[in-house]
Structures are given as structure tokens and as C-alpha cells.
Structure 1
Amino acid sequence: MLETSARLLRLLSLLQAHREWSGADLADRLGVTPRTVRRDVDRLRELGYPVHSAPGTAGGYRLGAGARLPPLLLDDDEAVAVAVGLRQSAGGGVEGIEETSVRALAKLEQVLPDRLRRRVGALADFTVPMFGRTGPAVDPEVLTELANACRDFERLRFDYRDHAGDSTRRTVEPHRLVCAQRRWYLVAWDVDRADWRTFRADRITPRPPHGPRFTPREPPAEDLAGYVSRGVSTGAYAERATVLLKVSAEVAGERISPSAGVLEPVDEHHCLLHTGAHRLDVMVLHIVLMGFDFEVREPVELTEHLRRIRDRLDRALG
């Protein structure tokens, strides 16, 4: 009986780890006959696990979604990863999910072996997050609604509030959600404007019903994270600049977030920063406070603005 139970747990673990298995592959992994695999699959079904199968040589077994959540089997690294992710979620970022994350974390830590509990505890005790707790929170139901529309290729309708607080009604074909610096962005094709747009998820108020379904378009870029970074750090501003930083892109990236600018490596000692601001004086302050030596590549107006500030500082110190 103990051997059978252990084999069922192993079978369940295999089904959770791979989207589909042939009966022969499962039999080989478990060291049993295909007939035993069929019997064990029937036992899992009796326990409430929705194991689907297809007949024939091309058929196989896969674990489907059920009416209730079955126990998950996690290896050591997976359990630690889930626990760390729950700890981060408990710190905020998605509105209303903190308490749920704490409850889930409490259940997980209760069943973790001591060796894994120590690993998770060490990561929590000796890790300092580099983000504050004041970022915009997103309703998890909104995120779920956006993600489902992306998955199902279904048109979305929503009210969108811009940075000035003005609201507009949008109809889009959603493509992907991108998360950066505790902010969520929706990349979508704006139907009325016939162009790709990036929307802050915390400014979206869905207006269902959604639909109809659409045929997916080619995305605006292969690197969607870079595309969003360029849009929020330069494309949204009236003043834009390219600055040569006299440090590597790796070093600069430790201080410059994706929402503050896009870094382009030049060599091991230099990189280009593409950034933007509403005014040149704000841009000057932003660049100087980075703490790196730099040269302005463009625009010329930024160089002239820097000279005026330098002269003003000279007079103040003279």
C-alpha cells in the first residue's frame, strides 16, 4: 500500500511538471508497466484529479483544470521560489493581495521541512528590497481581467485616466502585461488610433462586456520590456535627450531604473542613456544626480542649458 501511494504521488508530480505524457513514457519513468499506469491514473481520477487521456499512438495523459484545487507537489527549489514570491507579494504592489499572500505563506511555511524553512528565512532576513511601499496599487481583479483578454484575444473596453486626471474611453486589442518597478503596463493596439499604445494598469477601469475576438497582430517589438521602458522614460515627455555616461551599462543600471531611461551599451566603460522630462531643468537635475561623468549627445539645447546653470553656480560660489 505504501509503495502504491508513493507511486501515485510520483505520477501526480510528473503530470504537474509536463503538459502531456505518453503512457510508455510514464511507465518508463515509474518503472512499471503501461497497464499499471492506467490503473494509477484511474485512482487519481477517483481522488478528484482531472486526468485527461487521448487514445491511439499519438495520445497521452495530461492534468486538466478541475472543479477544486488539488494539492500541489513541489520540489525543494520550487517550494522556496513560491515562498519567496509570496513574501514579496505580501509587501504590496497589487492592491488587496497582501493579506491573501500572508495567509498562503503561513500555510506553505507550516508544511515546509526545517531545511527549507531556514532557506526561506535567510532570504527574508538578509534581503533588502530596493523599492518603496508607495507605488501605485493595482486591483488584482483588473489584472486578471486584462490577462484573460490577452490570453483569449478578446477586445477590451475601458476608461483610461491620464497623468493629468482626464479620462477617455478606449477600445483596444490587448497583447501583453509588462511589470516594471512595481508598476503594471498593458501593451495593446488602440483600435480608434490605429497604433500601439502602452497603458498604466492602475489607471484602467474596465467597461465590459468585452469582445469580439480578434486575430493577433505582430507585436510592436520583440523586446516588450525595452519597448515599454522607452515609452515611459522618453516617449511620454516633451523634452528628450541622449547622454553618454562614462560607466558601463551594467554599473549605470544599478542606479537608473527602466522607467527613468533606456541604457544602450557602447563598450565596457561607456553607455548611452536615452531619457526624457517635461522640462530641461528637470532633466539636468535628473542627469547630474545620477553621479556619473557624462557628455550630452543631443539636443544642443540641453548643452546650452547646462552652461547657463554652470554660470549661475559660478556666480553663486564666486
Structure 2
Amino acid sequence: MDAASGDERGTTERVLTLLGLLQQRQVWSGPELAARLGVTSRTVRRDVERLRTLGYPVYAGQGVGGGYRLGPGKELPPLLLDDEEAIATAVSLLAGAGGAVAGAGDAALRALSKLDQVLPTRLRHEVRALVGSVESFGGGRTQVGPEVLMTLARACRDEVEAGFDYPSGKELRRRRVEPYRLVASDRRWYLLAYDLDRDDWRSFRVDRMTEVAARAWRFRPRAAPDAATYVQEGVASRVYPHRARFLVHAPADTVRAQIPASAAVVRPCGGGLCEVLSGGADLDDVLLHVLRLGHAFEVLDPPELAERCRVLAERLLAAGAQDAPPPPDTEEP
């Protein structure tokens, strides 16, 4: 590389650094910018002119309180974000797209597509890795470090093993997995992965992971379950000792609006009916929640729950059939 091309690259990098500074703060004085860039105030003025030539509306104020500021404009050139800012922006938009912000899904997806267009190539690949490795049945709310999400997203994209410490009972154990997808629920982030030590698919809460790292070993992707469905079913039923299925006489959309996605899986059955899959520590509690929806329903599984319904129904009918006891005698004062 000759001296001229090296000087040109140095100027370009300095001008981009100047633009980044102007985006960070509302007003900078000339001496402040010169000190941050390690150049003279005259060079700062020249670089400001270069930005104006490129279409950036940079204004200069005189006197006390004056300085350089970046104004709004219709033709703003490519957005400058550092790695952490780009990742944090993508994670926030993904949360909105997944439903963490009511009504923001479509807008968040449009914003993600615009972000993809204006980011530099290197950061664009990083953000696409995250976007392409995330599914949802809600929107992630539990705070998770963006560097952890990006590490897992890269591992999903690059098809390399990942490792992390994860609670097992009262101790932490190292888990080796083939990561498949990140999934955002209405409460937290999960990773769907093939657990190499247990030889089966598992879902893991990302906020419980520590010492997360991608490994160098590549793997050939296996036939995988639908990520969002698998994780939702696990959160809503598989983690509980008892599971139940109901046929509810109401449209799926109506029932979904009544039950959090993390509490039950609702599947349309046609004809204004839907299937509800849920779980709990006590089947009576599950039954009570379905009863309180206010729709007619039938128990599909387990058979003993249908028998439990009959027992409880007889008790309720008996309680309702009894004559009300007479009010206690009271004496007039």
C-alpha cells in the first residue's frame, strides 16, 4: 500500500470517528473534538466539511455555548453503531417482534429490515446471525446479556457445539450441546439444543446459563422439532408432574387471549373448537383454570381427570341442591 492510499484510509477512519462522536452528544466544541481525534482544530473543520459533502447536516455555532452538532436530515447516510449497540438494538427489536410490546411486532420487523440495510457488512452478518437463530411465542423480558445471546446465535448459525454451566438440582454441571434455535417467550429466553450427554433434545433457560462459550467442533444438523412449539410445550406442560388436554368449545384466538403463552398451548381444531394442553403440580388447579375460562369443554387426557370432573360435579350439585339454612335467631336491641 502506498503512502497516499494509507493517508486516505486514515482520513476516512478519522471522519467516521468524528461522525460517531457527533452522534453521541448534542454539541461538541472544536477543541474537544480536536483532542478526541488527536488533530488540530483546522483539521476538524476540514473533516466537518467532508461530512457535509457526504450529506450529513453538521451545524456550527459561534460564541459561548456554540460548537458542532449533527442536525436531522432526510438523507442521512449509513447508520454508525458499534458492536454492542448493534447487538442491543437487534435484541430489543426481536423482543418487540416477539410480542413483548403490544402491537409492536410488525413495526419491529420493519425496523429490523432497515437496520440490516444500513449496517456495515461485518455488523450486518452479526445481526443476521441473531435474527436467523431466534423464534418466539411471546417476547423475551428477563434481562440477558447481549454477548451471551450473540455467542449462542453465532453457534446456531455456524453449527458449532456450545458449552455452559447449568443448574442441576443444587449444583452446576457443564452441558455440551448442539445449539439449534434461540426462542423468546413472554417471560424469558430459551435455547433449544441437542444435549450430547443426554442424547436428546432439551430446552435451556438462557438466564440460568453461566460461562457460555462456543466450541470449535462443528456438527451436522439433526432433524429437529419446531423450536417455538417444543419450548412452549415444555414451559406450559412438560416441566410439570401432571399434564392435561382439553377440547374447549371456543375459537383458538379467543382462548389464546385468555391464557398466557407460557401457561398453555392452544391449537385450533376447526369448527370453533380448540385443544388446550397445560400442566401443573395438581390437576385440580389445571381443571379450575380451564373452568374459569367460561367455555364449555371436554377432558381428553388423562382419563382420571374426567372421573375427577364427575366427582366434583356431584359435590357441586349436592351443595347447590341443599336448602339454605335458616338465618340465626337475633334479638331486637
Q: In the aligned structure 2, how far is the partner of 1:280 from the partner of 1:87?
A: 35
Match of 2:180 in 1: 175
Structure 2 residue 157 is the aligned partner of structure 1 residue 151: yes
Superposition RMSD on alpha carbons, in Å? 3.5
Indicate the residue corresponding to 1:220 in structure 2: 224
**Which of 1 and 2 has greater Rg?**
2
Q: Which residue, out of 196, 206, 220, partners 2:211?
A: 206
DSSP-derived class of the 1:212 partner: strand
Say if 1:158 and 1:206, in contact at 8 Å, map to a contact too: yes
The residue type paired with residue 72 of structure 1 is L
CA–CA separation in structure 1 for the residues paired with 2:304 and 2:221 = 39
- Give the direction of change, closer, same or farther, for the CA distance of 1:88–1:276 in structure 2 (3 Å limit): closer
Rounded Cα–Cα distance in structure 2 between residues aligned with 1:297 and 1:181: 27
8 Å contact kept, 2:139–2:186: no
Q: Distance in 1 between matches of 2:284 and 2:241?
A: 13
Aligned twin of 2:284: 281
Q: Aligned partners of 2:212, 2:95: CA distance in 1, in Å?
A: 30
Matched, 1:187 2:192: yes
| Equivalent residues in 2 for 1:1-318, closer than 5 Å | 71-72=78-79, 136-161=142-167, 167-208=172-213, 210-221=214-225, 223-314=226-317, 317=320, 318=322
Contact 1:142 1:206 in 2 (8 A): no
What is the identity, as a one-letter code, of the residue corresponding to 1:200?
R
SS, match of residue 217 in structure 2: coil
Query: More deviation in 296-305 or 188-197?
Result: 296-305
8 Å CA contact retained: 2:232, 2:262:
yes
Structure 1 stretches lacking a partner, 5+ long: 1-42, 48-69, 74-81, 94-130
Q: Equivalents in 2 of 1:224, 1:279: separation in Å? A: 27
TM-score (norm 1): 0.54
Q: 1:194 to 1:307 in 2, by over 3 A?
A: same
CA–CA distance in structure 2, aligned partners of residues 312 and 272 of structure 1? 27
Aligned residues: 200
Please state whether the residue corresponding to 1:72 is helix, strand or coil: coil
Listed as ranges, the gaps of 5+ residues in structure 2 are 1-49, 55-76, 81-88, 101-137, 323-333
Question: 2: distance between equivalents of 1:279 and 1:173?
Answer: 34
Q: In 2 relative to 1, CA 171–88 (structure 1 residues): closer, same or farther, beyond 3 Å?
A: closer
Q: TM-score, normalised by structure 2?
A: 0.52
The Cα of 1:314 is off from its aligned counterpart by: 4.5
